[in-house]
Amino acid sequence: MTHAWFKVREADWERDGEALRHVRIAVFCIEQDVPAELEWDGIDGRCEHALAVDAGGRAIGCGRLLPDGHIGRMAVLREWRDRGVGGALLEHFIALARERGHAVARLNAQTRAIPFYEAHGFAATGDEFDDAGIPHRAMSLALR
């Protein structure tokens, strides 16, 4: 998906790992104080990744789709928020999950981000829970 000021493209953990790590460290480890040992769960090599890049090719956002259809590690650099980057990444992963044959897309949303995901059709399920010291809720979207 291409926009005038950024584009979303598929990413490969081996080839694009540095750019993916850059965004996740900036957002999760530095801004949100998530411990590195929780951020790096060892499954990135088995996931499908996407990068949002600016007109100069610099990484500005990212996310991943786990083999079970779970969308995770959605992150957008602070200066690029509220400009459609997160929505474009999420739509990329919804389409990818549908393409992979998943009946439902699932994610764990930080509670402050629930309205963002609801705007894309996700519904919160279950009780609030703590993940890395940040309140979350499970959310899902039927794909069929």
**pLDDT digit string (tens) for 10-31?**
999 999 999 999 999 999 999 9
125 found inside a domain:
yes
Structure tokens at 8: 């979303």
End-to-end CA distance of the chain: 22
Q: What is the pTM of this model?
A: 0.94
1 found inside a domain:
no
CA distances to 22, 29, 32, 92, 138 from 40, in Å: 13, 10, 15, 23, 20
Domain count within the chain: 1
Three-state DSSP class for residue 50: strand
50 found inside a domain:
yes
61 found inside a domain:
yes
The predicted-structure confidence for 65-120, as pLDDT tens digits, reads as follows: 999 999 999 999 999 999 999 999 999 999 999 999 999 999 999 999 999 999 99
116 found inside a domain:
yes
Report the CATH number that the domain containing residue 63 is assigned in CATH: 3.40.630.30
- Tell me which residue range forms the domain holding 83: 6-142
Reported as a pLDDT band with limits 50, 70 and 90, residue 48 is very high
